[in-house]
Amino acid sequence: MGAMFGFDDSSCDDGHHICQWTLDATNNQGVANAADVLVGRPLTIVGLLLLLAITRWILHRLVDRLVASAEDGVLPDRMSRLGIRGRAAQQASARDLATQTRRVQRAKTMGDLLKSVITGLLVAVIGTMILSELGVNIAPIIASAGIIGIALGFGAQSLVKDFLSGVFMIFEDQYGVGDVVDVGEASGTVEAVSLRVTRLRDLNGTVWYVPNGAILRVGNMSQNWSRAVVDVNVAYREDLVRVQRVLREVAHDLWEDDDFHDVIIEEPEVTGVEVFGPESVTVRVLLKTAPMEQWGVARALRQRLKARFDHEGIEIPLPQRVVWHREEPKPSADTADS
């Protein structure tokens, strides 16, 4: 009977406590082997299944905590912490709601993926242990798993790197579909994000496919809020105090304009003189805007500044060059005759 179930008829294997306890009680190896098969193995298998369920539950709870942390984001909830009041705070609240919704969706997607991976690994490990309890030789299975792991380690390093980078990128909410980003060699609007690759479309319409593992740094030009930086060049002879007063008035009028009510989120700031150039003095204006609105706001401000400068007589200098014209002397009559 012992040979039928793969046991030595003279003793019990190490770790088979039911078999050993029955053997000590009955001094009958056949009964001990039968007790091990009918009681010991089922109890061991049930224990392994309980271990699978408990470990899975604990790890899934940890994933839920990570997902909750990712839903909150790594950046502050923006405008409320920037001292913004009134209409700007209301506009920021609406944008934050959309951003929060997107972040929650992506975090839950990553949570589901991690839970699936955890469940698969646990099933593989516990399943192998159950096969061992049933008397199956698991040495070839473990050897095969080791060979596959080595092959993946050498042959798919870049793929693993891409996936890990994608996981952290999504959890940290570095960028998402619709954001305008600069990832080094390519920049443009994000059209698709996956765990392996990010798809961008630049200003010329070219589509770039960037592996996540190749992204060393990301510049997001549309996350939370943006800023329009407008540098204005004026002639050296202009009164800079007057120029800055005009810039403040034009920028304030733009801020108060109903067309830009939902676009500019803070009072514009004239920082002053930035550069002394070879032909002009540069004065800078800063405007905090809604995401991806900085370019339109900058164009509108430049157009209004041009009209106001023309009205005020403030010169926007152009590069000047001095040209010398030399006239060749006319030949004399004697020279012409000769």
In this predicted model, what pLDDT tens digit does every residue of 175-197 receive, in sequence order? 877 888 999 888 898 888 877 88
Report d(CA 148, CA 139) in Å as an integer.
14
Domains present along the chain, CATH in parentheses? 17-155 (no CATH), 170-220 (2.30.30.60), 226-312 (3.30.70.100)
| CA angle (93, 94, 99) in 5-degree steps | 95
Instruction: State the pLDDT confidence band at 169, using cuts at 50, 70 and 90.
Output: confident
Neighbours of 19 (CB within 10 A): 25
Per-residue pLDDT at 97: 60
Q: Are 99 and 224 in contact (CB under 8 A)?
A: yes
Torsion of CA 41, 47, 49, 55, to 10 degrees: -150
Per-residue pLDDT at 298: 94
Instruction: State the pLDDT confidence band at 34, using cuts at 50, 70 and 90.
Output: low
| The pLDDT of residue 6 is above 50 | no
Closest CA to 297 of 309, 285, 307: 285
Per-residue pLDDT at 239: 92
Report d(CA 240, CA 247) in Å as an integer.
10
Least confident of 27-36, 129-138, 154-163, 214-223: 27-36
